[in-house]
Amino acid sequence: MSEVRVRFAPSPTGYLHIGGLRTALYDYLFAKNKGGKYILRIEDTDRSRYVDDAIENLIESLEWAGVKHDEGVFIEDGKIVQKGEYGPYIQSERLHIYKEYVDKLIENGHAYYCFCDKERLEKIREEQKEKGLMLGYDGHCRDISIEDARKRIENGEEYVIRLKFPENRDIVFKDIIRGTISINTKDIDDQVLLKSDGFPTYHLAVIVDDYLMKITHVIRGEEWLPSAPKHAYLYEVFGWEAPEFVHLPTVLNKEKKKLSKRHGDVSVEDFKEKGYLPEALVNYLALVGWSPESNKEFFSMEELIEEFSLERVSKTGGVFDKDKLDWVNEHYLREADIDLVTKIAIPHLIKAGYITEDDIENKYDWVKTLVSVVKERLSYISEIPEKVKYIFNNEIIPEDEETLELLKGEGVPTLLEAFKEELTEIDEVDLEFSQGIMKKIQKKTGIKGKNLFMPVRVALTGQQHGPDIDKIILVLGKQNILKRISYIESNY
């Protein structure tokens, strides 16, 4: 069997959609599982939808997610470069190739010049709608001879080139997920292959590129399923062996509708900016539409590669549940290196005004401890300003009535007085102090267990539950703790 070669071929029309990342991920996992190659090609022939910097953003999002291609379009030193023996990998640089192949179709009678203008096409579309007929081109220009067509072109008439389907013939092809599919040509119209601006449509370019780049498996979203018979027929008339088709189920929201910007975050950039870890997003996304043989929830990329198979991809849409993603991300955050989480958290803390650039340089260990105080309670890292808010407010407001009662306990004044006395003995709180202070207060007051820890925690945070008390004491520091004790003494 020839080497497996797959491609992810996005259009540079903006951000990388979560559904696009999943397609790229399945391409990557399949190729790596089979010891093959994964290629990134850019399909930019629809110039009306082209967005500046979209190629760079696409590549950066894929790199961030760890879905790394072997061949195609890369960014090096801030520039777009192409690597591999089947380039160019940007379609707008391949126009001469498409022209050569569309001319072959014309010569062989499998395509024709069409001179119908926009007005005529709109008119027949309206008539078809009124009569309840299938919408599509009516074949008006099918029988114009090549000679007549070329004369009209010489006279300056605008034209497109269309594929000429045989009449009333079943086109049969196989899909790895959906099995054998058969469609009759009476339900397909003559597809435009080359537009009036000289650019190919997706249907021509994708076939020529996949053939010339030796693609063995076409893995793409199910929105391309209605186009697959056109592609299967194009392979046939070119005399080429078609690749294996794989049409992935759509990524849906909780309401079982297509995931779209109207319903919140849908781009990889959105999730990156919110502080989701790439490993978590990839782990979760792999399971939206694919079920592994094992019942595991958490997979490294290597484990995904080992287990992945197209046969276990579902026929029905996979639901992207943000709550489930949050749960997966929480797991990865708990396991994550504190320096990594701190690095991602810093911009969010600066933006919220809780730390400055100077703090990162001069008090990095303190910033790291601040992050570690709430790390276990984050679903994603951009939540951190909200979670550390109480660290920066010395006015303690108990979270509920039960918590307030803890501050009014008879032993509380004794505890706070003992805490103050210990603080007067030091210049600043350090690790040794924060880890030993509760034992000293216990020894001094004779109060222990819940009666010791709960009132102190509430006096420092206004909350009954939370991070380890020694971390809170270390982050707050001497002056803030004294201010909090003073506030409690004055108000409760």
Question: Is 116 assigned a ligand-binding role in the annotation?
Answer: yes
Q: What is the mean pLDDT of residues 232-241?
A: 97
Do 191 and 207 touch, CB atoms closer than 8 A? Answer: no
- Reduce the secondary structure of 321-355 to three states and give it as a string: CHHHHHHHHHHHHHHCCHHHHHHHHHHHHHHCCCC
- Please provide the average confidence, as pLDDT, over all residues in the chain: 94
pTM of the model: 0.91
One CATH from 3.30.2420.10, 3.20.20.70, 3.40.50.620, 3.20.20.140 for 5-89+252-312? 3.40.50.620
DSSP letter for each residue of 34-64: TT-EEEE-B----GGG--TTHHHHHHHHHHH
Question: Is 358 assigned a ligand-binding role in the annotation?
Answer: no
Q: What is the mean pLDDT of residues 250-268?
A: 81
pLDDT beyond 70 at 145: yes
Tokens 């870890």 -> residue = 277
Question: Is 68 assigned a ligand-binding role in the annotation?
Answer: no
Q: Which residue in 151, 174, 254, 261 is the catalytic one? A: 261
Work out the pLDDT band at 263, boundaries 50, 70, 90: low
CATH topology of domain 401-490: Arc Repressor Mutant, subunit A (1.10.10)
For position 144, what pLDDT does the model report?
Answer: 95
Q: What is the mean pLDDT of residues 45-51?
A: 78
Higher pLDDT, 399 or 30: 30
Question: Is 210 assigned a ligand-binding role in the annotation?
Answer: no
CATH architecture of 91-248: 3-Layer(aba) Sandwich (3.40)
Question: Is 315 assigned a ligand-binding role in the annotation?
Answer: no
Domain chopping of the chain, boundaries: 5-89+252-312, 91-248, 337-392, 401-490
Q: In the annotation, is 261 catalytic?
A: yes
Q: Quote the CA–CA distance of 377 and 386 in Å, as a whole number.
A: 11
Percentage above 70 pLDDT, the chain: 99
The answer to whether domain 5-89+252-312 and domain 91-248 are alike in fold is yes
Higher pLDDT, 218 or 467: 218
